[in-house]
Structure 1
Amino acid sequence: MKRTVLSIFFLIAGILAAYAQGGLGNAIMAYEAGKLDQAKAAIDEAIKHPKASTKSKTWYYYGKIYAGIASDPTGLFVNLDKDATFKAYEGFKKAMELEPEKKGYYDDAKAEMEQLYAIALNRAVSFYQEQDIDNALKNLELSLSIQPKDTTALIYSAAMAYEADQKDKYVTYTKRFLELDDVPYEKKAEHYYNLILVLYGEMKKPEEAIAIAEMGLKENPKDARLYELIAAIYDEQGETDKALEYYTKGAELFPDNFVLNANTGFAYYNKAVEVAEEVESMDSSLKKSEVEAKLKQMDELLKTALPYLERAHQAKPDNKDVISLLAKIYYRLKMEDKGKAMDAKLKALGN
């Protein structure tokens, strides 16, 4: 009786094993014949069988078939499964895991995994062209998981995350790109500026925006735009002294830069105006010497502002705001000929 039971048991096990192997064999034959729809149906059945699902060969071909669907050049099968790239990744990953000693199908699966990077990237482009932003981003993130430091995948992932209105992901991917040591600053610069503007202007995170700008300055202390951005953020936050610190630093480094020099001049001029307002509000009983001290302080601030505004005027000779301030300062400092020259310029410009 026992012999009969054992014989039946082994017979059933043999039939199941042959059935599973047959499912895989059918999948492989259909794949090699280019019949990806049949290959998909066969491999989906094959991995359901307990014995077949423990074989690296099964998962390797599972990955191959789904990678074939995702990269189908004919376009006949590419829409069989929108998640084909992810299933291919799952297959190759599982095949490698089932070869702990890195034998059998390990190397084959590893090589296919590397190829999957490009497939996922191309699939992302296709989804983007179809305006399927979510699937485009998912495929970019898959390519990035395969090659975490790939610059193309990082830049595209950041851009797609921004378009998908996933700003936190945009920040994460852009930061990862900026932290790469083997990318020259010239290729990073625009990404620094954009990240700063998104953090400050759209996400309302001035501290983080300034931190990114400071990171950029450590990498390239001679980027005038970073000085402009840091100073502008401090200015808009009401931290005028910090703003002036960066405007001044930048203006000294870049004497031909209009923005840095003009804003440095404006800042010192505004400080002079504040002193003038103090004088106007002073009690009439104050000593003449106290008033004169304040006026002297005001004139010193105007003298400090003057060279920055003159540089700004050289950079942009037709800027009316700068010309107007220069005229006022020249007259106050008894430089009447220069003041008249600025008035003439303003008149010629139609003011």
Structure 2
Amino acid sequence: MAEGAENLGDTGRFSPWRLSVAPMMEWTDRHYRALARLHSRQTRLYTEMVTSAAILHGDRERLLGFDASEHKLAVQLGGSDPQELARAAKICAEFAYDEINLNVGCPSDRVQNGAFGACLMRAPELVARCVAAMKDASGLPVTVKCRIGVDDQEPRAALFAMARALVAAGADALIVHARKAWLKGLSPKENREIPPLDYSLVHELKQAMPEVPIAINGGIATLDAAAAQLEKLDGVMIGRAAYHDLSMLLEADPLLFGVPAPFASSRAAVEAFLPYIERKLGEGARLADITRHMLGLFAGRPGARAFRRHLATHAVRRGADARVVEDALGLVDHSRSARSAERLSA
């Protein structure tokens, strides 16, 4: 049993994908995830995408290592060769991940050159073979994160074809970014913003496949918006909003799972994070690589700018330790944290 599963209590009635933070390159690394877990025990976390080739030939501990506190944790893989993905999935299982997710949505030049990511929307049968191979090799739940189509594909036909193939292959859940991706002419950033969202199509898919766990991603920036989607779907995946304002996750457990938040405030969560920081520094990590994920905390509060400036200035210095974070916390007016604590415990 993965760490924390015995403490789910009444939350066990919910889909495992009820709320998750999207895999985001250079953002959802192990340090961010460890801090996010101190804000929400129930939200499912995802790694940055790791290619199957990197796992087979690279530094596996650097690519796949994580802190035990991060469970429930999914690893997102990139690739399109069923045998290679199967070997990578088996390695991920040995690292004790809780889920393997296949990237069928990223439109970057890097993944296009490797013929995976969003390109695979054109090859549902290949994706199905990849899913089946990963399930057989790993014994873990295997999910897919996809788009509603690419380029000139008709979205309903593309999405439903993908979903049918994945269900037949035994996929455990489908996470749909409710936008089409344009492989030429738009940057990855533009692909997150310009193609119109089509939530109704994802709702239609769920109605057509009520037995299949389906989560939605794209443009959902608040927990209230997530709650609205959960009236029709099994899960919601939030991306950049949960990175830039990590404190929003403090209200996730009470609002969406009916259990208390791990801590009453982001300040308390950061204070609980200090031993992790000291441990990672002792293992050779740089403080700035950890604190860069904290810069969005306390936004709008008196002292937030001083907090960010202190971290940016002092965390990069040689010998910087957790006292830098403690000193930065002292620059913020935490009176609102007390009011938040009262709200979370009400």
Q: TM-score, normalised by structure 1?
A: 0.23
Rg comparison, structure with higher value: 1
Q: Which has the higher strand share?
A: 2
* Highest RCO, 1 vs 2 (Cα 8 Å, sep ≥ 6): 2
Q: TM-score, normalised by structure 2?
A: 0.23
Q: Which has the higher helix share?
A: 1
